[in-house]
Amino acid sequence: MKIFDTHAHLSDKRFDEDRDELISGLKDNGVELVCEVGCDLRDVSATLALTQKYPFVYGAVGMHPHTAQFMDNGMADGLREMLKGGRIVALGEIGLDYYYDLSPRDKQREVFDMQLSIAAEAGAPVILHIRDAIGDSLDVLRAHKAELVKNGGITHCYSGSAESAKDFLDLGLVLGFGGSLTFKNNRKGVETAAIVPLDRFVFETDCPYLAPVPHRGERNDPTLARFAIERFAQIRGLDPEAAAELGFENGRAVYRLCDK
């Protein structure tokens, strides 16, 4: 199986014990590309270092809604600079999270909107984190529709209804499917996977979070992406290898790795 894990957090401290061993073994497990996401702009040095060390690990940087309240102008300038380097291929993860509400909601919206403008200036795709905030997120996103349609992006770990998925697809975004697709009772996820166009989805792990069944609750890593791929293939009546290949090519297209 040929896998692109389009959303990983390999710089997380839960990989401190075996990070290099794990990443060095990824290709033997079919994981040929990874996008490592550094989502606290107060320090993304570990993410940048991984993208320098491993040619098949690209990076994304951005301020997560959880830490939106700490965003300042210096970090915004740093973000613009990092997007100019060839190893950072997207701005993210950014968005709104009204489930945890770790930053005030008005601050989350302001920082989300600001980062969408930075992505537009840079011509970069975005990675979206949206939780319990679909209506407000769509309002912010629609103000940037023209650039989003042009530059693209991923609605990471999409958890809304199949109906709302169409609103994100209309904005030029693709949908990310990960471990939660394997969870029992994830009816919305299954319905969304059933209707997404085959050129508009990617696979991701969000590791170390969201490990798939039968590893639920354990530390996730990119080699476990295959469980979501197999579930997606089952829902769509595809061969798992073919589903993986579609996700791989869709990921390369959204991050524009074809030009690299």
**Where does this chain touch Zn ion (CB under 5 A) — which range of 113-121, 160-168, 204-212, 224-232?**
204-212
| Residue 206 binds to Zn ion (criterion: CB under 5 A) | yes
Nearer to Zn ion, 206 or 221 (CB): 206
Torsion 89-252-57-223 (CA) sign: positive
Residue 193, helix vs strand vs coil: helix
Q: How far is the CB of 239 from Zn ion (least distance, A)?
A: 28
CA atoms within 13 A on the CB side of 163: 2
Cβ neighbors of 156 (< 8 A, separation 6 or more) are 7, 92, 93, 127, 128, 129, 176, 204, 206
CB 3 within 8 A of CB 225: yes
Nearer to Zn ion, 206 or 230 (CB): 206
> Nearest Cα to 78, choosing from 106, 50, 40?
40
> Which residue, judged by CB position, is nearest to Zn ion in the bound state?
206
**Where does this chain touch Zn ion (CB under 5 A) — which range of 17-25, 50-58, 118-126, 200-208?**
200-208
Nearer to Zn ion, 67 or 234 (CB): 67
Q: Which two tokens stand for residue 110?
A: 């302001």
**Where does this chain touch Zn ion (CB under 5 A) — which range of 82-90, 179-187, 202-210, 239-247?**
202-210
Residues binding Zn ion: number (CB under 5 A): 1
Nearer to Zn ion, 97 or 206 (CB): 206
Nearer to Zn ion, 92 or 152 (CB): 92
Chain residues binding Zn ion by CB under 5 A are 206
